[in-house]
Amino acid sequence: MTDLSRRTVLKLGTAGLAGSALPALTSGSEKAGKTSDGLCNAAINIRAHQLLSLVCVLGGAKCPLMEAAKARAVLQRLGSDPTTAIRLISNADEIPHYTKLAQTGKAAPDAQEVLNRKRDLDVLQRLGLAPGDTRRARYLYDLLFKRIETPKGICAHDTPGWEGCPLAKDGAYERVRAQGWKTVVYLRTDQEREQYRRRNVQRIETGDRLFVRPHHLMCLACWYAGGKNQSPRPNDTLFEIWQRIRREPDAPITLVEGTCMACDCCDGFHPPNGRCVHSCGLIRDYKKDLDVLQKLGLMPGATMKARELFALLFQRIPSTRDVCAYGDGIERSEEWKICSGPDGNPGYVATRRTGVFNEDRS
């Protein structure tokens, strides 16, 4: 059995366990409502070029650029937790001034370390990151496979003295990349997602209130598009929330900061800690939530009747440009992508005009 097929078995086993139960969204390690899994608390620190090393190991190569035991441990972690925060490190900017180097160091530098520093910076440059940056595992490997097709030109070169890793040309990285990031990082099973959807729909239909993150009110309006869309959505339960508030315009909605009851069935939702691992969930959706709260003059935990909340939303926020395009329509980085275009989503404008309730359209 190859390393890749062993890995597949491991992932299927993990997925099967995850799909057999519906774990709570909090853990015993959480205290006073605070968690330690944020981006400023990286669970794993590795050199940037070792992102590629892990892929090569998964593809069956005995990569000389990372200890085998560490590679296995990291891969096991990523195979069960896509929210794992990975900090990319490099000592490229720590090289001392030449006058402080010993004479032996000036004459005979560690060639392997020189190559590793270049590898680190090559990877970071391709990803648009810098030493010390931290990202969640799914985000990193999705971005890595989009930006780096092969380790050739990073881990190995044709230049004499810079040949580098002889395994960089054996295709191990490329084989894994062809199967996608989900070969490296855990992806929820359809079975588990459907279980969560059924449970979530029941809570939406029968709960005494709805728990919704603020910017999802805008997502609902964009999707509804003035009545153009009225069917279930595969990756969330905004449709079911819309159905509930259409039946009961006075249904209470409590605004929550972070993932909400619309998220439970999403492929990017990680039930054990309630984190979102989509690129939008890395950090920018948190800003959207806070921007909406600020514009509404509310705080997390505020509860209002649905009709009153949407009336306030449409009064205070005329366009998604004000929140989803940061008010100026300028996209400054991958992490701060704009949703629905710099000029705003026409679906939101249409719903703002028609409303979302039955009486709004009568």
Which tens digits make up the pLDDT trace of 290-339? 999 999 999 999 999 999 999 999 999 999 999 999 999 999 999 999 99
Torsional sign, CA 26, 32, 33, 36: negative
Q: Which residue type, as a one-letter code, is found at position 178? A: A
Q: What pLDDT, on the 0 to 100 scale, is given for residue 10?
A: 38
- 320 vs 343: CA distance, rounded Å: 8
Question: Hey, which bits of the chain come out as E strands?
Answer: 44-47, 85-89, 134-136, 210-212, 252-255, 269-270, 275-276, 303-305
Q: Which residue has the higher pLDDT, 281 or 140?
A: 140
Q: Which residue type, as a one-letter code, is found at position 171? A: G
Q: Which residue has the higher pLDDT, 362 or 160?
A: 160
Q: What is the rounded average pLDDT for all residues in the chain?
A: 89
Residue 15 has pLDDT above 90, yes or no: no
Give 152's DSSP letter: B
Residue 76's Cβ-side half-sphere holds a number of Cα atoms within 13 Å equal to 6
Residue 256: both structure tokens together:
């929550």
Give 275's DSSP letter: E
Q: Is the pTM of this model over 0.75?
A: yes
* Matching residue, tokens 């800003």: 287
Q: What pLDDT, on the 0 to 100 scale, is given for residue 357?
A: 87
Find out whether 87 and 45 touch, Cβ atoms under 8 Å. Answer: yes
Find out whether 282 and 136 touch, Cβ atoms under 8 Å. Answer: yes
Find out whether 340 and 324 touch, Cβ atoms under 8 Å. Answer: yes
For residues 246, 252, 255 and 260, what is the CA-based torsion angle, rounded to 10 degrees?
A: -60
